[in-house]
Amino acid sequence: MPASVAVSAVRISSRYRVYRGEEIVLGPGKAQILALIAETGSLSEAARRMDMSYNRAWLHVKVMNESFAEPLVNSTRGGAGKGGAELTDAGREVLELYRRLEDEAAKATAATQRALAKKMKPTG
């Protein structure tokens, strides 16, 4: 969940991305893939729920696995009930750290976000 504060119809949100060189190795979309893999045990189901192709989701997982010191996702090939995916301990920890970053940033900036939102024209 992006860190955000809403005042009436105004919403301010922060979205964090972790880069390794020029490549985004973790951000909102990749964190969502990790969360859905943890929930469903399936990369293909995670991709479906995100309205993303399996190949694109697999490429995101590949980038994450190659960029962190330890792989974040273990997957087994299979199809028709034989395959699956799960977060490794490192994957669970990285996802938790990313969510904590979002929460801590939201708390730290909440008053400033509310003050900025109050400066907006009313909607309607």
**Token pair of 83, please?**
């395959």
**Reported pTM:** 0.84
State the DSSP string of 67-111.
HSSS-SEEEE--STTS-EEEE-HHHHHHHHHHHHHHHHHHHHHHH
Full pLDDT tens readout for the chain, 124 residues:
455 555 557 788 889 999 999 999 999 999 999 999 999 999 999 999 999 999 999 999 999 999 999 999 998 876 556 678 999 999 999 999 999 999 999 999 999 998 998 898 877 6
Residue-range domains of the chain with CATH: 3-111 (1.10.10.10)
Task: Compute the distance between CA of residue 97 and CA of residue 104 in angstroms, rounded to an integer.
Answer: 10
